[in-house]
């Protein structure tokens, strides 16, 4: 049985037998892998806490027939602690993990760009560099772009006519010009289109300056876009908590 | 594949958690070889447990009446409420013989990735229990894993405006272990929750 070592982020865990867990990890070099972590549910486990979702770890694994086996784990960055101490961050972070798991469908297929995006997204989320809702929406748009579903927020997604355009269609892949526009397409505010483009490009100056009303509209459009292109609903998306913080600040 | 009812038994046993096809087959043949009286006793208990056992209307723990043994006990302190995820956690806390208050069983932990949100747990019932002001302290004893911590964070945000004392079970070093073998997350928690010994 061959041993290999890789760093990865824990996407999901699932109970197995008496005290074991199946851990789904997105690793830097081996893509998404599923491995058995033995005895980690016991309080005496020496690495159970390192294999919680959101944890960025350096793991040694043994190749198995169907599932690999976790041999050793060291923590690289414990994103789980700051994330679960804030309910809004937890719900936003869970959507990031589920989206990643859905987009990296094939096991053992390297997905370096998605891995780097996830680590960056979790860092931004845990350090609260930006409003959690903005971090999440930016992550979703960029994840879809990496997967080949990059939305167009300037030129017409159908004929390529130069923008600006006002009609937004998730099915068409972004904005549509007046000629290509089909009935039922949304007509978001120009500021919303500007925010969508900023989130895709990582222009945080524009994104951070946006108004709550624009962020709400943007969030709805991003959710619609994600739902359309992933074909199935993300289970965690409906639980994203965007209520105001007790100290009065409003999260985006 | 076996004939008729033997295969049915293997299929039914195979649906139990943690029982795979091989284990199901082994259990089925064990039952076939066992004394008929033993098998009947097992079958009777299975039927009886489904008929008699229900969930306590007050706390959500497993009970044989409308209320569980703990909710019926007048000697229990009604001002302290321990909030746990599952009925088996009640048993774990009871084993300590340290707690004399009452319980509230949530029925799980918030896990959006599994499609479990706050509305799927007995949080509304908890709020109703706390509304009359009898309870002065709520102990959040959810599991010390990510879902458990997030559930505790959510409950804290919800309960704080009610003016209760909200406490969380301590996390830290297991009794009987060596410090050098503790992982950094557990050791970090132990430092966070350290207490003065000269009080």
State ipTM. Answer: 0.85
- d(Cα A28, Cα A24) in Å, to the nearest integer? 13
The conformational region for residue A108 under phi > 0 = left, psi -120 to 50 = alpha, else beta, is left
- Residues of chain A contacting residue B145, judged by C-beta atoms under 8 Å apart: 52
Which letter, b or e, does each residue of B127-151 get, where b requires 16 or more Cβ atoms within 10 Å of its Cβ?
A: eebbeeeebeebbbbbbbbbbbbbb
B19 and A CB contact within 8 Å: no
> pLDDT confidence of B199, banded at 50, 70, 90?
low
* Domain shared by B81 and B160, yes or no: yes
Partner-chain contact B146 A238, CB within 8 Å: no
* Domain shared by B161 and B82, yes or no: yes
- Answer whether residue A249 shows pLDDT above 50: no
Q: Is residue B112 part of a domain?
A: yes
Partner-chain contact B112 A236, CB within 8 Å: yes
Q: Is residue B25 part of a domain?
A: no
Distance from CA of A97 to the nearest CA of B (A): 8
Q: Is residue B100 part of a domain?
A: yes
Tokens found for residue B28: 């089925």
* Domain shared by B85 and B138, yes or no: yes
Q: Which whole number is the average pLDDT over B161-174?
A: 88
pLDDT of amino acid A165 = 86
Distances (CA, A) of A236 to A87, A99, B57: 13, 9, 30
- d(Cα A59, Cα A51) in Å, to the nearest integer? 10
* Domain shared by B97 and B159, yes or no: yes
* Domain shared by B106 and B189, yes or no: no
pLDDT of amino acid B31 = 95
DSSP chain B: ---HHHHHHHHHHHTSTT--HHHHHHHHHHHHHS-HHHHHHHHHHHHHHHHH-EE-TTT--EESSSS-HHHH-TTSEEEEEEEESSHHHHHHHHHHT---EEEEE-SS--BGGGTB-GGGTTHHHHHHHHTTS---EEEE---SSHHHHHHHHHHHHHHGGGT-EEEE----PPTT--GGGS-HHHHHHHHHT---S--
Q: Is residue B187 part of a domain?
A: yes
Residue bearing the bigger pLDDT, A45 or A85: A85
**Which B residues 164-183 touch A at CB under 8 Å?**
174, 177, 181-183
> pLDDT confidence of A250, banded at 50, 70, 90?
very low
Residues of the domain holding B179:
170-199
Q: Which whole number is the average pLDDT over A47-68?
A: 90
- d(Cα B104, Cα A113) in Å, to the nearest integer? 45
* Domain shared by B95 and B136, yes or no: yes
Which CATH number characterizes residue B145's domain? 3.40.1360.10
pLDDT tens, residue by residue, A131-190: 999 999 999 999 999 999 999 888 888 888 887 888 898 888 888 888 888 887 888 898
Question: Is residue B146 within 8 Å of A21, Cβ to Cβ?
Answer: no
- d(Cα A67, Cα A196) in Å, to the nearest integer? 40
Q: Is residue B178 part of a domain?
A: yes
* Domain shared by B87 and B152, yes or no: yes
Q: What is the count of structural domains for chain B?
A: 2
A223 and B CB contact within 8 Å: no
Q: Counting beta carbons within 10 angstroms of the beta carbon of residue A7, is it exposed (0 to 12), middle (13 to 18) or buried (19 or more)?
A: middle
- d(Cα B89, Cα B84) in Å, to the nearest integer? 6
pLDDT of amino acid A252 = 43
Residue bearing the bigger pLDDT, B84 or A46: B84
Q: Which of B95, B111, B113 is most worth mutating to test chain A (most A CB atoms within 10 A of its CB)?
A: B113
Q: Is residue B1 part of a domain?
A: no
* Domain shared by B176 and B120, yes or no: no
Q: Is residue B28 part of a domain?
A: no
Q: Which whole number is the average pLDDT over A187-197?
A: 91
Q: Which of B108, B111, B116, B145 is most worth mutating to test chain A (most A CB atoms within 10 A of its CB)?
A: B145
Distance from CA of A120 to the nearest CA of B (A): 20
Q: Which whole number is the average pLDDT over A187-202?
A: 91
* Domain shared by B137 and B186, yes or no: no
Distance from CA of A48 to the nearest CA of B (A): 9
Is the overall model pTM greater than 0.80, yes or no?
Answer: yes
Q: Which of B170, B185, B190 is most worth mutating to test chain A (most A CB atoms within 10 A of its CB)?
A: B185
* Domain shared by B154 and B174, yes or no: no
A92 and B CB contact within 8 Å: no
- d(Cα B109, Cα B14) in Å, to the nearest integer? 26
Q: What is the largest CA-CA distance in chain B?
A: 72
Averaged confidence pLDDT in chain A? 89
Partner-chain contact A84 B18, CB within 8 Å: no
- For residue B181, what is the nearest residue in chain A, using CA coordinates? A46
Q: What 3 state SS string does B123-171 have?
A: HHHHHHHHCCCCCCEEEECCCCCHHHHHHHHHHHHHHHHHCCEEEECCC
* Domain shared by B186 and B162, yes or no: no
In this structure, what are the phi and psi dihedrals at residue B72, rounded to the nearest 5 degrees? -80, -20
* Domain shared by B89 and B158, yes or no: yes
């Amino acid at each position: 049985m061959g041993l290999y070592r890789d760093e990865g982020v824990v996407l999901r865990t699932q109970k197995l037998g008496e005290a074991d867990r199946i851990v789904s990890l997105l690793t830097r070099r081996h893509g998404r892998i599923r491995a058995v972590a033995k005895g980690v549910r016991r309080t005496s486990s020496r690495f159970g806490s390192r294999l919680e979702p959101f944890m960025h770890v350096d793991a040694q694994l043994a190749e198995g027939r169907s599932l690999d086996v976790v041999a050793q784990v060291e923590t690289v960055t414990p994103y789980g602690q700051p994330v679960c101490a804030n309910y809004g961050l937890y719900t936003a972070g869970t959507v990031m993990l589920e989206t990643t798991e859905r987009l990296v469908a094939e096991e053992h297929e390297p997905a370096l760009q998605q891995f780097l995006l996830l680590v960056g997204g979790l860092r931004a989320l845990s350090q609260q560099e930006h409003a959690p809702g903005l971090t999440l929406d930016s992550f979703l748009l960029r994840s879809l772009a990496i997967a080949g579903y990059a939305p167009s927020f300037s030129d017409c997604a159908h004929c390529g006519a130069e923008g600006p355009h006002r009609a937004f269609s998730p099915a068409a892949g972004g904005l549509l010009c007046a000629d290509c526009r089909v009935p039922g397409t949304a007509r978001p505010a120009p500021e919303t289109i500007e925010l969508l483009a900023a989130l895709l490009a990582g222009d945080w100056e524009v994104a951070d300056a946006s108004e709550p009303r624009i962020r709400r509209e943007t969030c709805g459009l991003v959710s619609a876009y994600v739902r359309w292109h992933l074909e199935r609903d993300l289970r965690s998306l409906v639980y994203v908590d965007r209520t105001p913080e007790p100290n009065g600040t409003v999260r985006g | 594949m076996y004939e008729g009812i033997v295969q049915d038994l293997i299929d039914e046993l195979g649906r139990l958690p943690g029982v795979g096809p091989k284990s199901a087959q082994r259990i089925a043949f064990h039952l076939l070889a066992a004394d008929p009286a033993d098998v009947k006793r097992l079958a009777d208990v299975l039927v009886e447990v489904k008929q008699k056992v229900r969930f306590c209307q007050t706390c959500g723990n497993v009970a044989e009446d409308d209320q569980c043994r703990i909710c019926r006990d007048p000697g229990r302190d009604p001002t302290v409420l321990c909030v746990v995820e599952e009925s088996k956690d009640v048993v774990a806390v009871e084993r300590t013989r340290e707690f004399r208050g009452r319980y509230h069983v949530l029925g799980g932990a918030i896990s959006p990735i599994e499609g479990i949100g706050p509305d799927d747990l007995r949080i509304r019932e908890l709020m109703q229990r706390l509304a009359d002001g009898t309870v002065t302290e709520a102990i959040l004893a959810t599991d010390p894993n990510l879902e458990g911590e997030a559930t505790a964070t959510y409950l804290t945000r919800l309960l704080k405006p009610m003016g209760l004392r909200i406490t969380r079970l301590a996390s830290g070093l297991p009794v009987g272990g060596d410090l050098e073998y503790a992982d950094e997350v557990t050791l970090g928690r132990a430092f966070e929750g350290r207490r003065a010994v000269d009080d």
